[in-house]
Amino acid sequence: MKRTIPLQEHPEFSIVDGYGWREFRVEAPGGRRRAASRLPSIGGLWLDACVVSGVAYCWKAATSTTPGMAVLFMVLLLYVYTRSTQIQWESVVIFPSIGIQLETHKGFAGISLLASRKFVPWSSLEDFLINEGLRGWDVRYYCVAINRTLQGSLQLEVAFENILPRFPILLEVYYGVQEAIQIETERRTEQSVCHISQTA
């Protein structure tokens, strides 16, 4: 596996090349970086320290009664859940001759605990493009995969929908996916020409 950072002014963006796949990954703001350690950010450590101090302060009073223990347990469970389901990174993975996959990884301190994936096969991928949307007075750019469903309607699958990276990152991903689409189109054309010449 080879990992590169093509845009030096955007260290949160990296390209990971594996055997038979290529991943365009965008780390979440405040998430781990390539040169950083796996420790959480300083702000997260302060919050964790405050929660531990609060639990230690209330421990004797909370554990003396059953409802107090239940409340303390629920608060701790909610805190652990919110800390461990933060978005770590989102990516677009290209599988040549198969399709593309849009991924969102959630976890804690750079460790992925949950991942949601949307796979779009080449046969149903109509196009991959950069779109723009308005949010208040702000213009946001985002990558979208146009997917044809079994019923024939078009469906939009948004890549990096939680992080919304900057335009230079989206442009790099766009060029990478368009190159893969072009290679797949040429491969299919070549196969159909070979099939026609064999039947003739």
pLDDT at 37: 41
Cα 1 to Cα 18: distance, rounded to the nearest angstrom: 5
Residue 99 falls in which region: left (phi positive, over 0), alpha (psi -120 to 50) or beta: left
pLDDT at 36: 42
pLDDT at 189: 84
Cα 100 to Cα 91: distance, rounded to the nearest angstrom: 10
pLDDT at 195: 67
pLDDT (tens digit, 9 = 90+) per residue, 38-57? 445 555 677 778 888 888 88
pLDDT at 80: 82
Residues (pLDDT < 50) of the chain are: 33-39
Question: In terms of DSSP H, where are the helices of the chain?
Answer: 42-63, 66-84, 167-199
Phi first, then psi: what are they for 160, rounded to 5°? 55, 40
For 45, counting Cβ atoms within 10 Å of its Cβ (0-12 exposed, 13-18 middle, 19+ buried), the class is exposed
Strands 111-121 and 99-108: antiparallel
In the chain, the domains with their CATH numbers are 2-37+86-199 (2.30.29)
pLDDT at 194: 72
pLDDT (tens digit, 9 = 90+) per residue, 163-199? 999 999 999 999 999 999 999 988 888 877 776 767 6
